[in-house]
Chain A
Amino acid sequence: MKIASLYHPKDVNDALRVSRESKDTVVFGGGAWLKLSPRRVERAVLLDTLNLAEIRVHDDAVVIGAMCTLRSMETHEAILDIGQGILVDALEQIMGVGLRNIATIGGSVMGKYGFSDILPVLLALEASLTFAEAKEMSLESFMASKKRMNDVLLEVSIPRKKAIGYFKKVATTPLDFSLLNVTVVKTDTRITVVLGSRPGGAMGHDVTEYINGANDIDKAVKRAVESVLEAIPLGQNVRATKAYREQLAKTYVRRGLLEVMRDES
């Protein structure tokens, strides 16, 4: 990316205002992804001095500032607690520490990358977002919306519920994007399956009805897997065909469900 000038906004409102002034303005997270872009921009809006790099722990939620690096998240106790470490598990599988010390949660959410290993987990954990203008919004509606969100993300909030989590990234090497990733989260009331890198953006499906109260676990899991495959479309790209993604989904959704149920007993 070619950048003509850098801008340090006074506050969040200033950031929002400036970022909307022209199409040639871009808000920076860590900038690792933006670096790869061939774009030329007039102004890069840096959020470095707006105190957005904090992780706050409340009774009911962990609130992560948009400028927190992935590395600062994965080394945080409260985040390690979430879903038995499921988020840390996902974060640790993204490239190496050298990148994770740069890449931010803000950039990871706002990029809405189809290949993301973070968004599926956040989705399964029912995370919500806080924007400078739009204020609160669930991650689910953010993901479902096709519109580009012309706003500044301030925080990501993850509810602190008792949950058991399973995350599987299938990739050619540990430095590759997922061919598919599978997240399963079981709380006291719900079991959610999310598929990411389909290759499109992450999508979730609630399988509680198949599992809860079932006598024959294997049969229940089988039906749950079928319902996931029916509900969540999979497709093709250079990394994998649709058929292979389906094979992977079948296998790992089943294993994930069995694992979260085993962990409980």
Chain B
Amino acid sequence: MKVKLLINQRPRVVDVEPDEYLLDTLRRHDVLSVKRGCDAASCGVCTVLIDGKPTLSCSVLSARLEGKAITTVEGEREEVTRFYTYFGDEGADQCGFCNPGLALTAISMKRTFDNPSEDDIRRYIVANLCRCSGYVAQVRAIKRYLEESS
């Protein structure tokens, strides 16, 4: 079946199976920043923005997204670059597999929250698992990004 999606600001009509999940659709269409860590709503590395809201792409059916705006890091180059300046500066990056999903979550936080506390930040990114970093540098980077970059 055909669905019209706005993928990174570009309208695209994609052919999908009824039980195809957004993660598969995106990767099939070469949006490769979106990763698969668990395929079971438990790790956060597949996070994309759907109409601006962080959403696990492994767990939404593509066919239900008619007309929705799907954003990945490929479509947020400027903001991701801004975010990375803090991230790199804090040494928060390691293997990077979790980073695109985390970056989108942080960006959405910047757009929806005023002055989140550290606890708000931690809660908001709690399901973006990372096995490399120990998290503390990530939280520091996000805090600075939210405070300094607006």
Contact = CB atoms under 8 A, between A and B. Distances in A.
**A–B: direct contact at CB < 8 Å:** yes
Interface in A170-197: 174-175
Interface string B46-64: 0100100111101111011
A31 interface: yes
A101 B105 CA distance: 12
Contact of A98 (B1, B44, B61, B63): B44
Nearest to A175: B127
Contacts of A98: 41, 44, 47, 54-56, 101, 105, 127-128
Interface stretch (A50-58, A79-87, A89-97, A136-144): A89-97
Nearest to B57: A98
Interface residues of A, number: 25
Contacts of B61: 3, 6, 31, 44
Contacts of A92: 123
Main SS at interface, chain A: mixed
B55 A96 contact: no
B142 to A, nearest CB: 14
A99 interface: yes
Contacts of A31: 59-61, 64
Contacts of A175: 42, 126-127, 129
Contact of A174 (B50, B64, B126): B126
Given A3-B19, A96-B128, A102 B55 contact: yes
Contacts of A36: 40-41
Contacts of B125: 96
Main SS at interface, chain B: mixed
A106 to B, nearest CB: 14
A118 to B, nearest CB: 16
Interface in A50-79: 71
A2 interface: yes
A32 B64 contact: no
B21 interface: yes
A219 interface: no
Given A31-B59, A32-B41, A36-B41, A96 B18 contact: no
A96 B56 CA distance: 10
B59 A32 contact: yes
Contact of B41 (A4, A5, A35): A35
Interface in A1-18: 1-6
Interface of B: 1, 18-19, 21, 40-42, 44, 47, 50, 53-56, 58-61, 63-64, 101, 105, 123-129
9 contacts: A31-B61, A35-B41, A48-B64, A95-B127, A97-B54, A97-B124, A98-B41, A98-B55, A99-B41
Given A92-B123, A98-B56, 14 more contacts: A3-B19, A4-B18, A6-B63, A31-B59, A32-B56, A36-B41, A48-B64, A71-B53, A96-B125, A97-B53, A98-B44, A98-B55, A99-B59, A175-B127
Interface of A: 1-6, 30-32, 35-36, 44, 46, 48, 71, 92, 95-99, 101-102, 174-175
Instruction: Return the 6 tightest CB-CB contacts between A and B, nearest first.
Output: A96-B127, A3-B19, A98-B56, A32-B59, A101-B55, A6-B18
